[in-house]
Structure 1
Amino acid sequence: MSPTMTLSITDKTGFYSPVSFLSRTPELLAPEWLAELAADVAAGKAQAYEGEGGVQIVYRALPWDTDFFGTATFRIDYTAAPAGTPFAALQSAFAGLRAHLATLAPAFYLFAEVPSEDTAAIAGMSGAGYRLIETRLTCFRDDLQRFDASGTAAVRSATQDDIPELRVAAAQAVNHYDRFHADDFFSAEQADDFLSVFVENSVKGYADEVIVPADGPADAFLTGNYVNAPAALGGQKLGRMVLSAVTPARRGWYVKLIGALSARFQAAGVGTAFMTTQATNRAVLKVWAHHGYRVGRSSHIFSTYSRG
């Protein structure tokens, strides 16, 4: 677990980039993405665990989540294994990481988002007893400047005065398939409170955009951020839609919010917008398709924990 360990690049590395859909050859994104991760390891922001057979697992502690849930929380960011690594070695590596974390914190929670292409990591986690919690789809539109913004619904930017209504909306719009509601580690109250705090922090500056209907209460919202594509792809400006909630009183507003934020991104010069949801969320996927978005990436969420 030395910070000087050289991280291995594999034919799956590029798929770990959250914007791997931007390139028909994700391996072009691998060196830059891995260099950023290696820099975090060298700076102590992430840790590298090496199992038998050369299996490497990069993980990091999440201080904010640890404080919020009152349990040491970690996230796996990357797995690399030499081609042909036996299943036993993969299983042993993930079991070993779990045992290592137990020496650091008897009570802990560990999760990972694994691109669907990395079948070796998926097999290793499954064999070590990690549980599949959620399957995600990322959809995108890379011709956003051609989006027809005429007729989009009237929206406004949320203010701090809206936070009480936004918190209620976030708690009411329960998605039983998201990581927090699908994982039995979290209580329903914890999951709802986390999303309420998330939207509150979004308004306070964690999000670049938080839009709500222009008229009436702020009982429907959508958040978004501006990010940059990898330098290998020209560093273009991207728009990412993050969290949404629509109360029963605002039925039908989700499609309006997606259209309205697409229009805002377009006006800001964004060429590509993207968002992620669960593969089970058919209604949302239908809305995205209606606005011209298509599937670009799939991934799986695994978790394991110890109550101490």
Structure 2
Amino acid sequence: MGQQVKAELITARANKLFFYSPYNFLRALNVEKQQRLFGTGQTERYAADSIHRVFEFRGEEKTVQFLYTYLSWDTGFFNAPVYKVFTALFDTTTAAATLATAAVAFKQHLQQEGAAYCFAELPIEDTCLIQALGTAGWPLIETRLTFFRDGLNDFHHPRYPVRSAHQDEAVAIGRIAAAARNEHDRFHADPWFADDQGDRFLARYATVAVEGYCDDVLVPNEPGLPIDSFLAISDLQSHSASLGAEFSRVVLTAVGPANRGWHLKLVAETVQRARSRGADYVLMTTQATNRAVFRTCEKLGFKLGSTGCILACSF
């Protein structure tokens, strides 16, 4: 902590840092803009933010820097210090054993700093860093796939009755999120989220999504049908302005037994909503185990864009 990010290490890692853009698979988007926003540019700006930290490991010949941040909201919710790794910087000739040693030292540093939990969300292309963290005792928690739908003007699908969730439904939407357990998402696959912690976190996230954290939350609007599903959407407005393209991202969805079959309907209406706004892309991320979502993607013309993984350590 207290170190400055080394420019020469950013240069060495530029090819991998590009994949930290959540839109790296969208070929129509400008590569240089994505690097400035999410890759080399974000890395250069990293140490300027007060909540961002840099841990530097110096081996006999090589230097490795870990860039990570303190998550205040998560810390408050779980009543334990939570951190997130952005990436690590190192020369391309750094040996795997050196990276693993650096990752062990970083884990020890986190423990000394008082961390209770730390996770890293990494693009699958960053193989060396993933392997180093794994060797250092950071288990793989979740593998994620991001799908995208483009060509929205060519989207032709039956319409379904939906509406935006009302503010007074926020707590009920939270309960739907908590009840729709997925043993393969990180809040249930990671043993650190003991008992009902993962359920409570998802409930709170869904609640604040309705209260304004997300741009829209769709629910069924079919007469006589109880509301037992929802889909929360972010329109990623700041990214849209910077990249010159319009997006809608599915950030959280849950379907209970009383609304079986409504995942496809809610996603289809999300595409219709994006189309009506003049958006270019709809994005949706799910676990690599979620075959039900794969079937929705196939039926609605989504394509696979990227793969990522989450690793974590706890103390």
Tell whether the structures are fold-level matches, with TM greater than 0.5: yes
Cα offsets for 1:60-86 (capped at 9, x unmatched): 010010111111000011122211211
Tell me which residue corresponds to 1:30: 35
Tell me which residue corresponds to 1:2: 2
C-alpha separation in 2, matches of 1:6 and 1:231: 30
SS at match of 1:242: strand
- Please report how far the alpha carbon of residue 17 of structure 1 lies from its aligned counterpart in structure 2 after TM superposition: 1.2
Tell me which residue corresponds to 1:20: 24
Kindly provide the amino acid, as one letter, of the partner of residue 206 in structure 1: Y
Aligned length: 304
Tell me which residue corresponds to 2:95: 86
Q: Which runs of 5+ in 2 are unaligned?
A: none
Question: Is the aligned partner of 1:179 residue 2:186?
Answer: yes
Q: Is the 8 A contact 1:15 1:26 kept in 2?
A: no
Tell me which residue corresponds to 1:198: 205
Pick from 206, 225, 230 the counterpart of residue 221 of structure 1: 230
Q: Is the 8 A contact 1:145 1:270 kept in 2?
A: no
TM-score by length of 2: 0.90
SS at match of 2:252: strand
C-alpha separation in 2, matches of 1:233 and 1:295: 24
Per the alignment, do residues 231 and 161 of structure 1 end up closer, same or farther by CA in structure 2, a change over 3 Å counting?
Answer: closer
Q: Is the 8 A contact 1:144 1:271 kept in 2?
A: yes
Q: Is the 8 A contact 2:5 2:65 kept in 1?
A: no
- Please report how far the alpha carbon of residue 144 of structure 1 lies from its aligned counterpart in structure 2 after TM superposition: 1.9
Within 5 Å, which residues of 2 pair with 1:284-299? 284-299=293-308
C-alpha separation in 1, matches of 2:72 and 2:243: 33
SS at match of 1:51: strand
Per the alignment, do residues 152 and 162 of structure 1 end up closer, same or farther by CA in structure 2, a change over 3 Å counting?
Answer: same
The answer to which of 67-76 and 221-230 deviates more is 221-230
C-alpha separation in 1, matches of 2:258 and 2:241: 45
SS at match of 1:269: coil
Q: What's the % identity of the aligned pairs?
A: 36
Kindly provide the amino acid, as one letter, of the partner of residue 54 in structure 2: A
Tell me which residue corresponds to 1:143: 151
- Please report how far the alpha carbon of residue 233 of structure 1 lies from its aligned counterpart in structure 2 after TM superposition: 8.1
Cα offsets for 1:209-261 (capped at 9, x unmatched): 10000134331100010115868984211111110011101111111000011
Within 5 Å, which residues of 2 pair with 1:66-145? 66-105=75-114, 107-145=115-153
Q: Is the 8 A contact 1:3 1:42 kept in 2?
A: no
Tell me which residue corresponds to 1:59: 68
SS at match of 2:116: strand
Q: Which runs of 5+ in 1 are unaligned?
A: none
C-alpha separation in 1, matches of 2:213 and 2:256: 23
Tell me which residue corresponds to 1:153: 160
Tell me which residue corresponds to 1:39: 45
Kindly provide the amino acid, as one letter, of the partner of residue 129 in structure 2: A
Per the alignment, do residues 54 and 31 of structure 1 end up closer, same or farther by CA in structure 2, a change over 3 Å counting?
Answer: farther
SS at match of 2:76: helix
Question: Is the aligned partner of 1:189 residue 2:199?
Answer: no
Per the alignment, do residues 231 and 177 of structure 1 end up closer, same or farther by CA in structure 2, a change over 3 Å counting?
Answer: closer
Per the alignment, do residues 292 and 38 of structure 1 end up closer, same or farther by CA in structure 2, a change over 3 Å counting?
Answer: same
Cα offsets for 1:68-113 (capped at 9, x unmatched): 11110000111222112111211122111111111221x5100001
Cα offsets for 1:255-297 (capped at 9, x unmatched): 1000011111111111111111001111111101211111100
What is the root-mean-square deviation in Å for CA atoms of aligned residues? 2.1
Pick from 163, 167, 175 the counterpart of residue 170 of structure 2: 163
Per the alignment, do residues 47 and 26 of structure 1 end up closer, same or farther by CA in structure 2, a change over 3 Å counting?
Answer: farther
Kindly provide the amino acid, as one letter, of the partner of residue 305 in structure 1: S
